[in-house]
Amino acid sequence: MFTIAIIGYSGSGKTTISEWIASYLDMPCIDTDDKVLEHLGMSSVQSVWDEEGEARWREVEAEIIPALLQEHAVVSLPGRSPMSESVIDALKKVPMVINCIADEETTLARIARGKDRPMLRADYLQVRSERLETYDSLATHELDSNGDFASAIPRIQALLTDLDSNRPSK
Residues in the chain with pLDDT values less than 50: 121, 168-170
Q: What is the CATH number of domain 3-163?
A: 3.40.50.300
Give the phi and the psi of residue 33 in degrees, each rounded to 5: -60, -45
At residue 170, the pLDDT reads 36
pTM: 0.85
Q: For the chain, what percentages of helix, strand and coil (3-state, to nearest 5) are there?
A: 55, 15, 30
At residue 115, the pLDDT reads 61
CA distances from residue 125 to 24, 95, 106 in whole angstroms, order as listed: 32, 29, 11
Distance CA 111, CA 24 (A): 26
At residue 4, the pLDDT reads 96
At residue 168, the pLDDT reads 45
Distance CA 158, CA 131 (A): 25
At residue 80, the pLDDT reads 78
Q: Where are the chain's structural domains?
A: 3-163
